[in-house]
Amino acid sequence: MSLRVLGVDPGLTRCGLGVVDVAGDRRATMVAVGVVGTAAEQPLDQRLLVIANAIDEWLDRHQPHVVAVERVFSQQNVSTVMGVAQVSGVVIAAAARRGIPVALHTPSEVKAAVTGSGRADKEAVTRMVTKILRLGVAPRPADAADALALAITHAWRAGSGAAAATSAPGHASLTPAQKAWAEAEARARRGR
């Protein structure tokens, strides 16, 4: 059984979204990819509403087992960090309303998972995402490729162990101890 992950590269101007199914053998298949854009001239509340509506639509349409969101990176400028944090909050709340677990991954974790180097540039990430997903055309813009990379990273990091099993259907085959361990890992990832 495969694990379906919605990856979200949060941003106010461009919010990347990518849905990936990953089988137990780590073979990843793209389900959907896109970018939700808002104009800087729009009021903040309207920008967040556009993104919230898009997230709701993607969650309802694709029904992921887990949502992977890029963790806010503190070395960016303050206004960028605030926008990313606000969009991240919208995404996390939308997933929580549906009982979908959320995992946060840093940009360097994602780069290392898909390219082998935590210092890879966006072009290297895009190339590897294209290769991993066996796509004929690279996903553009980079925000779309980054969202797919987040989804792949989460699925690969969760692996076939107990953490992935709580998010995927059919986790009833785990022992009570495995279920407890997986639930504790999921809570820790969500910051509880």
Residue 125 contacts residue 70 (beta carbons within 8 Å): no
In three-state secondary structure terms, 104 is strand
3-state percent helix, strand, coil for the chain, nearest multiple of 5: 50, 20, 30
Both tokens of 62, joined, read: 């694709």
> Which residues participate in catalysis according to the annotation?
9, 70, 143
> What is the spatial distance between Cα 84 and Cα 73, in angstroms, rounded to a whole number?
9
Annotated binding site for Mg(2+): 9, 70, 143
Give φ, ψ of 158 to 5 degrees.
-70, -35
Annotated binding site: 9, 70, 143
In three-state secondary structure terms, 31 is strand
> What is the spatial distance between Cα 93 and Cα 51, in angstroms, rounded to a whole number?
12
Cα-based distances in Å from 88 to 7, 121, 148: 11, 22, 16
Both tokens of 61, joined, read: 């349409």
